[in-house]
Every structure is written in C-alpha cells, then in structure tokens.
C-alpha cells in the first residue's frame, strides 16, 4: 500500500520536493482485472479475502503471512517462525475494521498517476511475490514510468526487504547514492 501512496502523491502533487522514488513490491499500476486491464487479478479474489477476514480474521492472517513470506520455500533459511509470529502479532493487534477496509485500497487504479512521475524511480520486486503478482504489477511499470529501473529478485517473496535483504539493500543503497 505504501507504493500506492508514493505513486498517488507524485501523481497529485508532483516532484518539487522529491528527487527519487522507490517502489518495492508495488501495487501499481492497477491490480483488478478489467476489460482494459487484462493483466490484473480477478475481482473474486479480493471478495474472497474480505470474506475470510470477516469469517475468521486470525486464521486469515496466518494464511496471509504464509504467502507474504513464502513460508513453504523460505522458512528456516530466510525467515523464522518467530519473525512470522511477530508479524502476526502486529497484524492481529490492528483494527479489525481497518484490516477489512484496507482490501479495497488495493483496488485503486494508479494508471493516470504513473505518467506524472518524473523522478528517477527504482522498482524492486520478487518474482515469487504471492501477494502482488509480479506480472500484474512491477513487470508492467517500466513501460509506464519514464526514467525507471526494475530489479527483479529471483525467488523473492512479497516481503523481500526481510527475506532477501542481502540482495535488496545493496541495490537500494546504490540507487540512493546516485549510481
């Protein structure tokens, strides 16, 4: 959702006070499959998420974090049960209504904002992102944001800043230094 905030800010207010942007595990350009967005995800997926949150939010969070961290592949090597539990604890302590209300925000259409981004933009995403599929999100952005660069983290989960920090941090620092 943070990448949506960055995108919307630059689209609405411009870059007068911004010199660079980073979109990590991005939600833009538009996540929902429509006639003019065939790369999107079927709306029924989001309806199912909302139903799961209403029916049993703690169970939904457990399932969500399994996909957030790609636990079946990365547990024990790039993520621990303790880190997953910490994330679950934070999420479970959040507002139940807020948890539900955040789902529609994922459906925001950012396509009109993207052409207004006029600063160097780094896009980083794992090719195994199960939360925001790479082919529906990050892979599309280089054609929509001028002066952007996409870095794909092989095997990277949605939480690449945690699971693949050893690969993300050098790319991020290099970009921020201006290289």
CATH code for position 116: 3.40.50.1820
At 101 the pLDDT is 96
Beta strands of the chain (E only): which ranges?
21-24, 121-126, 148-153
pLDDT in tens, 131-179: 999 999 999 999 999 999 999 999 999 999 999 999 999 999 999 998 6
Question: What pTM was computed for the model?
Answer: 0.94
Average predicted confidence (pLDDT) for the chain: 97
Same domain, 133 and 168: yes
Sign of CA pseudo-dihedral 139, 147, 25, 76: positive
For the beta carbon of residue 17, count every other beta carbon within 10 angstroms: 7
Judge contact between 160 and 24, C-beta under 8 A. Answer: yes
Same domain, 26 and 48: no
First CA to last CA across the chain, in angstroms? 27
Same domain, 98 and 128: no
Cα–Cα dist 94/31, whole Å:
24
Same domain, 97 and 127: no
Same domain, 133 and 156: yes
At 179 the pLDDT is 65
At 1 the pLDDT is 81
At 139 the pLDDT is 98
Quick check: is 81 in a domain? Answer: yes
Domain's final residue, options 59, 86, 107: 107
Same domain, 102 and 114: no
Domain's final residue, options 107, 126, 159: 107
Quick check: is 53 in a domain? Answer: yes
Domain's final residue, options 51, 79, 107: 107
State which residues form the domain around 120: 1-30+108-179
Count of domains in the chain? 2
Same domain, 121 and 178: yes
Closest CA to 69 of 143, 141, 155: 155
pLDDT in tens, 90-143: 999 999 999 999 999 999 999 999 999 999 999 999 999 999 999 999 999 999
Same domain, 102 and 116: no
Q: With H, G, I as helix, E, B as strand and everything else as coil, classify residue 117.
A: coil
Q: Is the pLDDT of residue 87 over 70?
A: yes
């Amino acid at each position: 959702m943070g990448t949506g905030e960055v995108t919307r800010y630059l689209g609405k207010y411009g870059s007068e006070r911004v010199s660079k942007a980073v979109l990590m595990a991005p939600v833009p350009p538009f996540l929902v499959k429509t006639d003019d967005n065939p790369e999107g995800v079927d709306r029924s997926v989001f309806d199912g998420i909302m139903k799961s949150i209403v029916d049993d939010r703690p169970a939904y969070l457990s399932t969500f974090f399994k996909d957030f961290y790609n636990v079946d592949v990365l547990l024990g090597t790039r993520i621990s049960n303790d880190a997953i539990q910490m994330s679950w604890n934070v999420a479970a302590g959040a507002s139940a209504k807020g948890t539900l209300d955040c789902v529609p925000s994922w459906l925001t259409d950012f396509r009109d904002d993207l052409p207004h981004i006029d600063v160097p933009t780094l896009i980083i995403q794992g090719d195994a992102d199960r939360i925001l599929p790479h082919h529906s999100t990050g892979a599309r952005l280089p054609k929509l944001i001028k002066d952007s660069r996409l870095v794909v983290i092989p095997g990277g989960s949605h939480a690449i800043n945690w699971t693949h920090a050893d690969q993300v941090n050098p790319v991020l620092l290099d970009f921020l230094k201006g290289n």
